[in-house]
Structure 1
Amino acid sequence: MRAVQFSEYGPPGVVHIAEAEAPHAGPGEIRIAVRASGLSVGETRLRSGALRDVVPVAFPYRSGFDAAGVVDEVGSGVTDVGVGDEVFGIAGMTVRGANAEFAVLTSWAPRPSAWSWEEAGGAAGAVETSTRVLDRLAVGAGHTVLVQGAAGGVGTIAVQMAAARGARVIGTASEHNHAFLRSLGVEPTTYGPGLAERVRALAPDGVDAVFDCAGGALPDLVAIAGDPARVVTIADFTAAAHGVHLSHTAPVDETGAVVGGADAMAVHGLGSAVALAEQGRLRVPVAAAFPLAEAAAAHELSESRHAPGRIVLVS
């Protein structure tokens, strides 16, 4: 099968298509014929080498964490899906490889009828991340939430899921993305110097939680929240120096406990996302869709930080 991979750190051009042995579903897993898969900002950072001291990778590295497609193989113990079903979901943390013609998923849910393949292919990772962080921040009805980097792949999902919990959502983005954020039910503002004053003007009584999807502004975000415990970042590796929690996931050990000081994956969010999608309350903005063979161009667009929503690869 064809799969996207890179065999060295470097610019987007190191990403290429390779022939790889097709994976097979193990116990509790399913295999899908992939229709679309997501490209995460985290994997562009892995590819560039920016995270080599934090998250070293073994080469060749096959990319892709989430995907959507048609089930063509069911592992032992799986009873909720069958061959031919349409699903979206998440690949194993240590295996990944979803940017390919076939992928093994460890968590999944039915593809909502309201979502195209491209939307479903880019949904699962952002849904899991958003659910994990919103759960940790205990976001609920009546709360005011600031999402830093609200127009990005995770931010666009986080703002909708926070609103679905009954929260008021303020989101930062470049001014040209403000109309886009308003279409998602967000009160937009710009990031950068003066952020605390702009947020205070929108929310004189303060905010209850801050979800940082962009990084680089933790001192301001802590000041806005009033307490570092009310800020969670997924993008800033200086978090500990500011008393802020950096949320990331990691494999579990043989007892099921999360290793490496990470958070448990919030895969229950996939089912919630299906319900919200069918109610017309959750859409997956797709900034661009590229064929697998153009994965390098997809990485280049992701690094430009000018893509509102998810970037996906279609098989």
Structure 2
Amino acid sequence: MSKAVRYNEFGGVEVLRIEEVDRPAPGAGQVLVRVKAAGINPGEAALRRGAMMDIFPSTFPSGQGSDLAGVVAEVGAGVERFSVGDKVIGFSEQRSSHAELVLVDVDNLTPKPENVPWEVAGSLYIAGVTAWGAVHSVQLEKGETVVIAGAAGGVGSFAVQLARRAGATVIGLASAHNDQWLRSHGAIPVAYGDGVADRLAAAAPDGIDAFIDAHGDGYVELALALGVSTERIDTLIDFAAAAKHGVKTEPGADGRRGAEVLAELAALIADGHLEVPIANVYPLSQVREAYTELERRRTHGKIVLKP
């Protein structure tokens, strides 16, 4: 037996519980991973509330989570790339990573570099791959200016650094207490709130070329009002605005597999070229507390569960 997060109905954090489940057995092409760390993400909270059931239907009891890092505990038939004891980074497509043991398709795993901490490796997939895709989606070129809304959050902190690596001038929309972090990573901080359009115009006197919205709440309309063309706007959260205005929501990963992007991001972290801020780490038993903090939307960086 092993422990896993489960819920039987849509709702708030109160529906989450820890259950004893049978030890998963890997089938052909699968790897059983003993999880060392698993990140949590806003999309998982939306799924749990039923807000995305038309796009991502749920069945009950439901597990939760995509991001994970851990140690290979068992391999299924035909798996040759990994052996028992290997340290790996990966993702589950079955909403199951918030658990002690998780079955993962072998193609969804990549080796974990030794100098990448577990909590960083385990929170890399959703935020890192999404940010990587968004930066590619808006087609940044050296010398261009991009605004990133939600610049200090899980996705935004990745996007800021990746956009800077692409040679862009980055304006980071975030709460004022994140100014120091944004400046230290080469971004121009601009605070949310009344007058934000004027502050953005002042920060970019030559205009804004692209806009990545990792926050929602009217930023697609703001980008359009600032003269950004629809093909250079990517929203990761405001799908209604995207449908209304025709801006991008696709990740822009150029057909690359998630594990390939994971490997690239992990290598950047291992070489000191990419930082993953960790806001907090909770034991699996405190999954409700972890999501309570996440859903306040005030954290800088990633929140991680450790079984």
Contact 2:67 2:126 in 1 (8 A): yes
Counterparts in 2 of 1:48 and 1:139: CA distance versus 1, 3 Å: same
Aligned partner of 1:253 in structure 2 is none
Aligned partner of 2:247 in structure 1 is 244
Counterparts in 2 of 1:16 and 1:205: CA distance versus 1, 3 Å: same
| Cα distance in 2 for residues equivalent to 1:223 and 1:30 | 49
Q: Secondary structure at the match of 2:82?
A: coil
| Cα distance in 2 for residues equivalent to 1:59 and 1:39 | 20
Contact 1:67 1:89 in 2 (8 A): yes
Offset of residue 54 of structure 1: 3.9
Residue 306 of structure 1 pairs with residue 298 of structure 2: yes
| Cα distance in 2 for residues equivalent to 1:12 and 1:160 | 32
TM-score by length of 2: 0.90
The AA in structure 2 aligned to 1:102 is L
Identity across the alignment (%): 40
Contact 1:124 1:270 in 2 (8 A): yes
Aligned partner of 2:222 in structure 1 is 220
| Cα distance in 2 for residues equivalent to 1:166 and 1:272 | 18
Contact 1:2 1:100 in 2 (8 A): yes
Q: Secondary structure at the match of 2:202?
A: helix
Larger deviation, residues 74-83 vs 195-204: 74-83
Offset of residue 77 of structure 1: 4.2
Aligned partner of 2:180 in structure 1 is 179
| Cα distance in 2 for residues equivalent to 1:291 and 1:105 | 22
Q: Secondary structure at the match of 1:62?
A: coil
Contact 2:38 2:67 in 1 (8 A): yes
Residue 50 of structure 1 pairs with residue 42 of structure 2: no
Q: Secondary structure at the match of 1:98?
A: coil
4+ residue runs over 6 A deviation: none
| Cα distance in 1 for residues equivalent to 2:231 and 2:18 | 43
Aligned partner of 2:18 in structure 1 is 17
Q: Secondary structure at the match of 1:52?
A: coil
Offset of residue 127 of structure 1: 1.5
The AA in structure 2 aligned to 1:314 is K
Contact 1:196 1:220 in 2 (8 A): yes
Residue 102 of structure 1 pairs with residue 105 of structure 2: no
The AA in structure 2 aligned to 1:240 is A
The unaligned stretches of length 5 or more in structure 2 are: none
| Cα distance in 2 for residues equivalent to 1:15 and 1:200 | 44
Larger deviation, residues 53-62 vs 146-155: 53-62
Offset of residue 132 of structure 1: 1.8
The unaligned stretches of length 5 or more in structure 1 are: 250-262
How many pairs are equivalent?
300
The AA in structure 2 aligned to 1:20 is V
Offset of residue 128 of structure 1: 1.3
Alignment map for 1:73-92 (pairs within 5 Å): 73-92=74-93
Counterparts in 2 of 1:28 and 1:222: CA distance versus 1, 3 Å: farther
1:231 alignment partner, one of 224, 233, 237: 233
| Cα distance in 2 for residues equivalent to 1:26 and 1:210 | 43
The AA in structure 2 aligned to 1:86 is K
| Cα distance in 1 for residues equivalent to 2:54 and 2:228 | 31
CA-based RMSD: 2.1
Deviations 1:149-193 (A, max 9, x none): 011111111211222222222111111122222233322111233
| Cα distance in 2 for residues equivalent to 1:53 and 1:228 | 25
| Cα distance in 2 for residues equivalent to 1:89 and 1:136 | 23
Counterparts in 2 of 1:188 and 1:112: CA distance versus 1, 3 Å: farther
| Cα distance in 2 for residues equivalent to 1:313 and 1:163 | 29
Residue 277 of structure 1 pairs with residue 269 of structure 2: yes
Offset of residue 306 of structure 1: 1.4
Q: Secondary structure at the match of 2:262?
A: helix
Aligned partner of 1:286 in structure 2 is 278
Counterparts in 2 of 1:235 and 1:108: CA distance versus 1, 3 Å: same
Q: Secondary structure at the match of 1:36?
A: strand
Offset of residue 66 of structure 1: 0.8
